[in-house]
Amino acid sequence: MAELQTPSLTPKQDLTPKQIVERLDQYIIGQNKAKRAVAVALRNRTRRLKLPEEIRDEVAPKNILMIGPTGVGKTEIARRLAKLCNAPFLKVEATKYTEVGYVGRDVESMVRDLMAVGYKDVKAEMEEQLREKSVSIVEEKLLDLLLPGSRKEAKKSSAPSDAALITDGTASPSDTASDSSESTREKFRAMLRDGKLEDREVEVTVNRQQNVPNMEIIAGGSLDDLQSSMQNLAGMLTGGRHKRRTVSVREARRIITEETLDSMVDADKVADIAKERVEQSGIIFIDEIDKIAVHGESHGQDVSREGVQRDILPIVEGSNVNTKFGVVNTTHILFIAAGAFSVAAPSDLIPELQGRFPLRVELDSLHKEDFKRILKEPKNSLLMQYSALLETEGVSLEITEEAIDRMSFIAEDVNARAENIGARRLHTIMEKVLDEINFEADEHKGETIKIDAEYVDKKLSDVVQDQDLSRYIL
């Protein structure tokens, strides 16, 4: 087993709350209150890990409740936060779960899914550390495919025999064959390294067996969990599935590299590290929490919604959940809940659940100036994305400031008159404006197309003027 550096629980960079906000500013426009809240929450997790063990266990995460309409950046803030702290991250919708006894997903499945994410991340990190060491192994396996039996012949002829000990110094036929075989192998090795054999076809055996440390068949689990467990059991009993495939050397290198790295990584060690990382720095983002809030007296479907809340409560409070990677304690997992709360209010959640989300952050609705900044400022902004896509066809876009201003105004106007979907409105507007250009891009290769306010009005005027039509198209 190759020596590995243990993946860290702490962030790659020890960022202050101010620095965290600055990083989030690169991707999310506005919402400073929400950014400050999550920045402090992240910093407190880093601080907790530096405390003595007897104090560390007493410090509970300050879970966050985000309140605001769709498309204003709630999910993006949580997702970017997880990337900053190198934490396992999972987004779930509260409406997918139901109380025990009803049709729906078991609430504990969110922890199992988070653990699967953590396992995958740690495994990828370890494989990356071993990638350089795997190159020589992969190369030898590729040469074995290109020259079947060459390595066995070389080993066989290299072993001393009685006949070899009494020769008069002349080379035996076996020695000559060995030299020839080794010479051929080295020639192929040089060609392989120079990339001259990438398109040559070889036959490889693909092993599809799933590498899991143990089994998970738990009473009360969901149908998905049971199905996964049965598949794992079938794989263990049959030894996995093997299939012969004829592929190019390029594809064979990818397949062999994956299998080699998989065999080099200690699955038990990965599971242990992933479990610790999930328990100490995992983040679960529960969206649409307002959809399970109970407004007024409980009856009918509302009873089921309250049941979902009560099932979620022990997970948020801290409980032990069985997973195929071991028992995971949720006490120090950071939960970020979010919802529009346009009908229900945060106070409509059961008191016990409210108390587990002490940090409340209200996100602002987006306006014209926000839309303008969203189009231009973030890393990999919308304008940059659409321009890059068309550049692959040799088409350049020149989008004027007036055009950006006009699209921002229309986004604000349609959001005000129809459903407020926040920044997602810009995607529909951009698609409508660039619809013709995207369709005919191959006919405009080498051209620079100017998008001005007049062009935007031409594409959107009919839709914007027709209020009913804008509801469906924009």
pLDDT higher than threshold 70 for residue 178: no
Burial of 142 (0-12, 13-18, 19+ CB in 10 A): buried
Long-range CB contact pairs, 138-143, < 8 A, 24+: 138/253, 138/256, 138/257, 138/260, 139/189, 139/192, 139/193, 141/256, 141/260, 142/192, 142/202, 142/249, 142/252, 142/253, 142/256, 143/185, 143/188, 143/189, 143/192
pLDDT higher than threshold 60 for residue 236: no
Residue 234: how many other CB atoms lie within 10 Å: 11
Q: What is the pLDDT of residues 78-136, one digit of tens each?
A: 898 888 888 899 999 998 886 554 555 788 999 999 999 999 999 999 999 999 999 89
pLDDT at 164: 44
* Residue 60, token pair as written in the block: 């509970």
pLDDT higher than threshold 80 for residue 9: no
Taking the C-alpha atoms of residue 262 and residue 219, their distance in angstroms, rounded to an integer, is 31
Q: What are phi and psi of 447, to 5 degrees?
A: -95, 160
Closest CA to 213 of 327, 87, 384: 327
Q: What are phi and psi of 196, to 5 degrees?
A: -85, -10
Taking the C-alpha atoms of residue 248 and residue 197, their distance in angstroms, rounded to an integer, is 9
Range list of β-strands (E), 76-214:
89-93, 201-207
pLDDT higher than threshold 90 for residue 275: yes
pLDDT higher than threshold 70 for residue 450: yes
- Most confident range (mean pLDDT) of 21-25, 180-184, 228-232, 462-466 is 21-25
- Confidence class for position 219, pLDDT limits 50, 70, 90: very low
- For each of the domains in the chain, give its residue range(s) and CATH number, in order of start: 17-119+271-362 (3.40.50.300), 128-158+174-270 (no CATH), 368-473 (1.10.8.60)
CB 11 within 8 A of CB 86: yes
pLDDT at 91: 94
Mean model confidence pLDDT for the chain: 81
pLDDT at 321: 94
Residues 55-72 have a mean pLDDT of: 87
pLDDT at 180: 74
Please give the model's pTM, rounded to 2 decimal places. 0.77
pLDDT at 88: 93
pLDDT at 150: 63
CA atoms within 13 A on the CB side of 44: 15
Residues 409-422 have a mean pLDDT of: 86
Residue pointed to by tokens 């409105």: 425
Residues 151-159 have a mean pLDDT of: 55
In this prediction, what percent of the chain has a pLDDT beyond 70? 77
* Residue 346, token pair as written in the block: 């945060």
Closest CA to 75 of 95, 57, 92: 92
